Structures are given as structure tokens and as C-alpha cells.
Amino acid sequence: MKNARRWLQQRVFSPIVDFSYIVMSLLFAEGFPRWYERFNAWHYRRQAQHYDQSVIALEGGRYAQALEAGLKALSVQPKRILDVNSGTGFVARKLLTLFPEAHIVATDLSEAMLAQAQQRSPTIEFVRADTAKLPFSDESFDLVTLHNGPPHFREMARVLRPGGQMLIAFTSGARVPQWLLRRWLQIAQRFGTVRVGQAGDGLWVLVTKLSQTIRGA
């Protein structure tokens, strides 16, 4: 039974969800609609307590293989880090281990996920925020990370300092159709120089912010 659930999670749910993140990133470039926020709150209220067991544990090592490969490709030594769509704080805790001297802020839309995260990581600052409307000043972070969620390039780039880096990774991103990835990566290129890597089924994208954002991006 557990093997069947694992197979479904890895082969079916995870690729579909990553596909939906890329589509949302393209569709909601102007901001996430109100219904999406309500759906997200409902969905993660039901998932929050079990997320680490029902998704992270079930995925095993493949959950973070792309994220870890992307973290190895970073060239910044960040002092201020923002992890968006932080969920139960999985990435934020990894960042704390890698960069113990850095100030780490983690945001998420779901109060239920934030409550789990704060309980597990009392030393990290968790803030409720929509990734499309981040409550931070321009250019206030050296590194912005997003793992397994719909990216909002413009807002993530706004809070990043010139020369800072944005790391986006998806557990099953390499299974997203190439034509869609190409379209999405064209948008990423408006915000900086882009490096892309694959790790198993996972995909990571590292954007190094240009000193000047292209107008209209």
C-alpha cells in the first residue's frame, strides 16, 4: 500500500503539481487571484500537520535533490536570505545549516503551514506573505529561494539586490514539457543571467540579478 502511494506521489502527483506551478507562474504574472488564496488556505489547512510525512518523507531523497544541486551552484555568500513559499520550513532549516551567520526570513501564504514551521524552527523568522506582494523593501536580500511553489519572478527580483541570486527548484521539474519550460525560462531571462540544471527528475534554475532590470519585465 505504501509503495503504491509512493509511486503515485513520485510518478503522478509531483510532476502534475510542478507543471501547475509553471503554468501559474505564467498566468498570474500580475498577482495571484483571490480564489487562489482561498483554495491554498483550504488545501494546506488540511495538509499542514501531515505534509512532512505525506509528501517529504514519501518522496525520500528525491524531494530535495534539485534544491541541493542548485544550492551547490550558488556564487553569493548571502548575509540576508528570503525563502518564499516556505511551507513547514524545510528549505529555511537547510539554509540555516548552510549559512548559520545569515539572517533568514521565510514567508508563506498559509497560516496553517506557518504554524507548523514556527513550531519546528523557533529561531527562524516566519512571516505570512503572498509571494506576489512581498512586504520587504527593494533590494533587501542577497538570496531568494523558492522550492516547489509557483514563482513570481518580478516580485522575487524586486527584493533581491543587484548581483544577488534567486534559486528556484522543483522536485519533478525536469518532467515538465520542454516547450513550457522554454517559455517560462524566457521570462526568467528578463531578470538576470540564468543557469539551469537537472538532478534526477528535479530541475533547478539560478537567476543572478542584473544591475538594472529590463523595463516592462
Ligand X SMILES: C[S@@+](CC[C@H](N)C(=O)[O-])C[C@H]1O[C@@H](n2cnc3c(N)ncnc32)[C@H](O)[C@@H]1O
Give the contact letters, 121-160, x = binds to ligand X (CB under 6 A), - = no.
---------xxx--------------xxxx----------
- Residue 151 neighbours by CB under 8 Å, 6+ apart: 21, 25, 131, 168
d(CA 157, CA 141): 10
Cα separation of the two ends of the chain? 47
Binding piece for ligand X, criterion CB under 6 A, among 102-110, 155-163, 181-189, 198-206: 102-110
d(CA 112, CA 40): 10
Q: How far is the CB of 57 from ligand X (least distance, A)?
A: 11
Whether 180 contacts 141, CB under 8 Å: no
> With respect to ligand X, which residue has the nearer C-beta, 33 or 177?
33
> With respect to ligand X, which residue has the nearer C-beta, 20 or 193?
20
Q: Which residues of the chain form beta strands (DSSP E)?
A: 80-84, 103-108, 125-128, 141-147, 160-170, 192-199, 202-209
Give the contact letters, 61-100, x = binds to ligand X (CB under 6 A), - = no.
-----------------------xxxx--xx---------
Q: How far is the CB of 177 from ligand X (least distance, A)?
A: 20
> With respect to ligand X, which residue has the nearer C-beta, 131 or 208?
131
